[in-house]
Amino acid sequence: MKNKLANWRLTIRFKWTCLLSLAIFLVFGLFASLIYSSIEQALLHNEENNVRDTISAVDSRFNVYQAPLTRQQVQDRLAPQFNRQILRHDKNGNVVSERPEDFYRDSLTKQLARGDLALVLFDPQGRPLFKVGNIDTKFKPVHSAHIAVKKRDSKRLKYLQANMPIYSQHSKKLIGYAKINNGMRNYHRTFRQLNQKMLVVVLFALLLSIIMGYLLTRPLVQRIKQVNKTIDQINADPDSTARIPQQRSNDEITDLVDRFNRMLDRMQEYTNQQKEFVEDVSHELRTPVAVIEGHLKLLQRWGKDDPQVLEESINASVSEIDRMKKLIQEMLDLTRAEQIEVNYVKETTQANETIQQAYNDFVMLHPDFQINLDDTIPPHTLVQIYRNHLMQILVILLDNAVKYSQDRKEINLSVSTESNMLTIAVQDFGVGIASKDLERIFNRFYRVDKARSRQSGGNGLGLSIAKKIVEMYKGTITAESALGSGTIFRINLPLASSKDNK
C-alpha cells in the first residue's frame, strides 16, 4: 500500500485539466452571477415600483381630508358600501355579484387584492385605524416616504416595507401615517424557478468545463509525450538519430523542441567527432608505430651490436615519434576548431597587424623565397575572428605554399575588403593540384602526393583545420589550381560590425 502511495502522482494532464476546468467554471460563474444579480435588481425594482404605486394611491385617497384621519373615514374610503342591486344570493346562500369587477374598480383596491400587499393606517398619534393583510401595527413616525428591504426572521425571506406620512392637500398638515408591506410573492416565485434552472445550468457548465479542460490539455500533453518518447529512444540507443518531430504551432514548447533538437545535434556532432578522432588517430598512428616496432625488433635481434644499424634505427624511431607528436597536435587543433562556435565566435582581431606579422615571420624563416604582400585594407580593420585562429590559417596556407613551391620560389599574399568581408588570397607557383583532387583537398588526411607529403612532414590535416576554423566564423575558403602552374587559396571572413567596434 505504501509503495502504491509513493508511486502515485498527479499527472500534468490532471493538474492542467483541473486548472482549466476551474478557470472556465469561474468565468461562467462570474458571468452567471452578473446575470443573476441583474435579474434580481430588475425584479426588486419592479416590486419597489409596485410599492410606490400603492403609496401614491394611498396618499391620493386620503390627502383630501383636512383634519386627522378617523376610523370611519378610512373605512369609507377603503371599504365603501356597494350598490345592493348588483348583489344576489347563490343556492348555497353566499352573496355574489353579477359584476364582481365592481369591487376592484379603483387602483388601490386592485393592488391590495393581490394578496402580497398589506396595509396599516395610523392617526397622527400612532394609533392604528385600519389594517389589511399580514402586517404588524408597530408605529414609527417618519417625515417622508421611505422604502426598505427587510427579512422575516422565520424563513429569512425578503420583503419590502414602506413607511409614509399623509399630509392634507389643502392645509398641508399631518393627518396620519401609512405602513405598507410587500411580500414580493412574484419575486420569490421567479427566483425559485430561476434557482432550479440555475442548478441544472451549473451542473452542465461543470461537466462542460471538465470536458473542455481535458480537450484543451490533450494536444499539449501529446507534445510532451513526443519529447519523452524521443528521450527514451536516445537513452536506449545513444547513437540514435531520433529527433522530436517538427511542431506546427509557434509557442514556447516549439522553442523548447527546437533548442532540444539543436542540443541533440550538437551532442551527436561531438560524439561523431570523438569517434572520428579515435578512428583517425588509430589509423594514422598505425604506420609510425609499426616502423618503431620494426626497428626495435631489429635491434633486439642483432642490430644493437652494429653501430650503424643502431644509429639508423634510433634516428628513424625519433623521426617517427616527432611525426606522431605533430599528428596528435594537429588532431587536437582540429577538435578545438570544431568548438570555436562555443568559445570564440564573438572575438575580433586587428587584421592589419596579424597579417603583417605572419608575412614578416615567413620572410625571416624562408629568406630564399620571394614573398610579396599586397595589402589594400584600411588601417585598423577589425575582422570577426580570434587572433590566434587567423594566424593559424595564414601559417597553414603559407606553409603549404612553401612546401609545394620547390622550383619557382615565389609566393603572393594579397588582402582586401569588399561587401563587409575580408578577402585573403595566397598564391604559389608550385606543382599545382589536379581537378579530380581539388574537391577533396579539405578532407581529413587527404594527400595529393602521399610520398611528397610524408617527406615534407605533412599529415593531410592542415587544410581540414583551416576550413573548419573559417566555417566556424561564418566564412568561406576555396581553391583554384592547375597542374604545373600553382594554386590560389582564397579566404573570406566577415568584418566586425560597428557595434562590435564600439
pLDDT, averaged across the chain: 79
Angle at 279 between CA 278 and CA 281, to 5 degrees: 65
| Per-residue pLDDT reduced to its tens digit, 341-391 | 656 677 899 999 999 999 998 888 888 999 999 999 998 899 998 888 898
Average pLDDT over residues 162-184: 88
Using a pLDDT cut of 70, give the percent of the chain over it.
Answer: 80
Give the integer Cα–Cα distance in Å for 322 and 330: 12
User: 415 or 270: whose pLDDT is higher?
Assistant: 415
Q: How far, in whole angstroms, is CA 365 from its chain's centroid?
A: 59
Strand-pairing partners, residue 412, are: 372, 427
Element (H, E) at 37: helix 12-62
430 in Cβ contact with 406 (< 8 Å): yes
Residue 502: what pLDDT? Answer: 46
Residue 488: what pLDDT? Answer: 94
Give the integer Cα–Cα distance in Å for 199 and 202: 5
Band (pLDDT 50/70/90 cuts) for residue 156 is low
Band (pLDDT 50/70/90 cuts) for residue 94 is very low
Residue 413 pLDDT > 50, yes or no? Answer: yes
Angle at 210 between CA 209 and CA 211, to 5 degrees: 90
Residue 6 pLDDT > 70, yes or no? Answer: no
Residue 491: what pLDDT? Answer: 94
User: 245 or 97: whose pLDDT is higher?
Assistant: 245
Average pLDDT over residues 209-221: 78
| Per-residue pLDDT reduced to its tens digit, 306-320 | 777 778 878 878 877
448: Cβ contacts below 8 Å, ≥ 6 apart: 433, 434, 437, 441
Instruction: Name the grid cell of 72.
Output: 370611519
Angle at 158 between CA 153 and CA 162, to 5 degrees: 100
Residue 498: what pLDDT? Answer: 56
- In DSSP notation, 488-501 reads EEEEEEEBPPHHHH
| Per-residue pLDDT reduced to its tens digit, 247-258 | 777 877 788 888
Band (pLDDT 50/70/90 cuts) for residue 451 is very low
Residue 414: what pLDDT? Answer: 94
Instruction: Name the grid cell of 305.
Output: 651490436
Using a pLDDT cut of 90, give the percent of the chain over it.
Answer: 12
Strand-pairing partners, residue 149, are: 160
Residue 450: what pLDDT? Answer: 47
Residue ranges with strand state E in 156-263: 158-167, 174-182
Domains of the chain (ranges; CATH) run 10-80+103-237 (3.30.450.20), 238-264 (no CATH), 272-337 (1.10.287.130), 344-501 (3.30.565.10)
Residue 152 pLDDT > 80, yes or no? Answer: no
Q: How far, in whole angstroms, is CA 65 from its chain's centroid?
A: 79
Q: Which of 41-45, 65-69, 246-250 has the lowest mean pLDDT?
A: 246-250
Number of neighbouring beta carbons within 10 Å of residue 217:
21
Highest mean pLDDT among 85-99, 264-278, 451-465: 264-278
Residue 397: what pLDDT? Answer: 92
Highest mean pLDDT among 95-109, 166-180, 204-218: 166-180
Residue 287: what pLDDT? Answer: 65
348 in Cβ contact with 382 (< 8 Å): yes
Band (pLDDT 50/70/90 cuts) for residue 411 is very high
